[in-house]
Amino acid sequence: MNTRGRAARSVGPPDGLAPLQAPPLPAHDPADPVENAVIRGLSRSWPRRAAVKKKEPDLDELFDPDRDDYPESLMPFRTHPRYDALDEERRARLRAWAWIAYNKSVVDIEQYVVNPGFGVITSDVFGLGPGDTTTIGVMQAMVDEQYHTLMHQNANALTRRRRGWSLPDAVLPHGRTVRAHDAAVAAAADPRAAALVRFAYATVAETSISAYLGLLTGDERLQPVNRSTVAVHRRDELCHGSLAGELLTMVFDSLGAAERDRLLDLLAVGVDEFTASDLETWTAIVRHEAVPGGDGMMRDVAEFAANAPVVQDCSAIGRLGASLGVGADLGGRLTADRTAGSGPGA
Ligand SMILES: [Fe+2]
Ligand SMILES: [Fe+2]
């Protein structure tokens, strides 16, 4: 493990031991049959660019109580009369809940989808025989994901403390992507089929999460802590998108026709689940807050939300499909083809 960043901010290791530094990766790893220049570049730049290697911002200093915790434009009931009728404090609580749920959804995806999906590569379920460069590149990304989990949990802890509201995670179900992922893993015929599910969902998450994070970076009225948290995370994810693309190419090339077909199906389902509005989570929030007429409000917005995906830009997965020569095939399997990219919206 490279500890240079940490050593610079601390008094150094105990007992006069020299700080540990990772050995440099070879310019070319002859033992790695899937050696890849993109992954090699990402691995080498990780100590300088990864969020986990940088100084943490002072979240308390960034918190501005007068700013919104979440953009109202992303809330499916934003124009409903029942929401309109609430006083400002109750609406502020719903915005804070939305931010808590957004963070929990990110945390759950990292913990239950992305890192298990990366684990399929490091444990070499598909027999790719990755060498040090690929394995280390994936392990660095897994460290990033663990750190992102901490960042989003810290953001939630800060919101609860500064607002003075408990807003407990236990109210919220797992997010939609995690629910669909877990059901598909449970239904898989054997461990290899389960690994294909994990890999496909992780690929969708890693190529689409930048668009999900991007939903919260452009709104000037939004809480600065929240904008900063998603912006820092997004910088890492732009690199992970490249890594996931390279891993998809490696795995796809290694599969036979039937598993390729299954992988494309899983990618398409994964995109639909990842981009959709999660009404189960919104319903849990509205019930917990005892919004008058809340169940009826959620019924009223269900049809609208079903036709208005939260993340509209899945162009990255579309480009990946095209690079594999299956762009039209993949696009045809999606419920609504957003792989051309139409920009984030609600
Ligand atoms: Fe992440
Ligand atoms: Fe990631």
| Residue 243 Cα to ligand 2 middle (Å) | 9
Separation between Cα atoms, residue 252 and residue 263, nearest integer Å: 8
**Distance between first and last Cα of the chain:** 41
| Nearest alpha-carbon partner for 245 in 214, 199, 181 | 199
Q: Which residues contact 173 (CB under 8 A, 6 or more apart)?
A: 179, 280, 281, 284
Nearest ligand atom owner, CA of 118: 2
Nearest ligand atom owner, CA of 205: 2
User: pTM of the prediction?
Assistant: 0.88
| Residue 283 Cα to ligand 2 middle (Å) | 28
pLDDT at site 5:
40
Q: 68 has which bridge partners? A: 222
- The dihedrals phi and psi of 68, each to the nearest 5 degrees, come to -75, 145
Q: What is the pLDDT of residues 237-267, one digit of tens each?
A: 999 999 999 999 999 999 999 999 999 999 9
Q: Count the Cβ atoms, other than its own, within 10 Å of residue 131.
A: 17
Q: Count the Cβ atoms, other than its own, within 10 Å of residue 47.
A: 16
pLDDT in tens, the chain (346 residues): 344 444 444 445 566 676 667 766 655 565 555 568 889 999 999 999 999 999 988 999 999 999 999 999 999 999 999 999 999 999 999 999 999 999 999 999 999 999 999 999 999 999 999 989 999 999 999 999 999 999 999 999 999 999 999 999 999 999 999 999 999 999 999 999 999 999 999 999 999 998 889 889 888 899 999 999 999 999 999 999 999 999 999 999 999 999 999 999 999 999 989 888 899 999 999 999 999 999 999 999 998 887 777 876 778 888 888 989 998 898 888 876 555 543 332 2
The CA–CA distances, whole Å, from 205 to 6, 112, 291, 305 equal: 29, 11, 32, 21
Q: Count the Cβ atoms, other than its own, within 10 Å of residue 137.
A: 26
Ion ligand 1: residue ranges with CB closer than 5 A: 145, 148
pLDDT at site 291:
98
| Residue 35 Cα to ligand 1 middle (Å) | 24
Could you tell me the maximum CA-CA distance found in the chain, to the nearest angstrom? 66
| Residue 328 Cα to ligand 2 middle (Å) | 26
Separation between Cα atoms, residue 135 and residue 119, nearest integer Å: 10
| Residue 100 Cα to ligand 2 middle (Å) | 20
Separation between Cα atoms, residue 177 and residue 188, nearest integer Å: 17
Separation between Cα atoms, residue 318 and residue 322, nearest integer Å: 6
| Residue 231 Cα to ligand 2 middle (Å) | 13
Q: Which residues contact 207 (CB under 8 A, 6 or more apart)?
A: 241, 244, 245, 314, 316, 317, 320
| Residue 51 Cα to ligand 2 middle (Å) | 12
| Residue 59 Cα to ligand 1 middle (Å) | 19
pLDDT at site 7:
41
| Residue 242 Cα to ligand 2 middle (Å) | 10
pLDDT at site 29:
60
| Residue 166 Cα to ligand 2 middle (Å) | 29
| Residue 114 Cα to ligand 2 middle (Å) | 7
The CA–CA distances, whole Å, from 262 to 96, 181, 248, 266, 318 equal: 39, 14, 13, 6, 17
| Nearest alpha-carbon partner for 145 in 172, 173, 175, 106 | 106
Q: Which residues contact 250 (CB under 8 A, 6 or more apart)?
A: 34, 36, 128, 134
Nearest ligand atom owner, CA of 208: 2
Nearest ligand atom owner, CA of 106: 1
| Residue 109 Cα to ligand 2 middle (Å) | 10
Separation between Cα atoms, residue 342 and residue 147, nearest integer Å: 30
pLDDT at site 3:
40
Q: What is the pLDDT of residues 105-114, one digit of tens each?
A: 999 999 999 9
DSSP 158-205: HHHHHHT----GGGSPPPHHHHHHHHHHHH-SSHHHHHHHHHHHHHHH
Q: 222 by DSSP, 3-state: which?
A: strand
Taking the C-alpha atoms of 179, 181, 183 and 188 in order, what is their torsion angle to the nearest 10 degrees? -170
| Residue 237 Cα to ligand 1 middle (Å) | 6
Q: How is the chain split among helix, strand and coil, in percent rounded to 5? A: 65, 0, 35
Residues in the chain: 346
| Residue 187 Cα to ligand 1 middle (Å) | 26
| Residue 229 Cα to ligand 2 middle (Å) | 14
Q: 227 by DSSP, 3-state: which?
A: helix
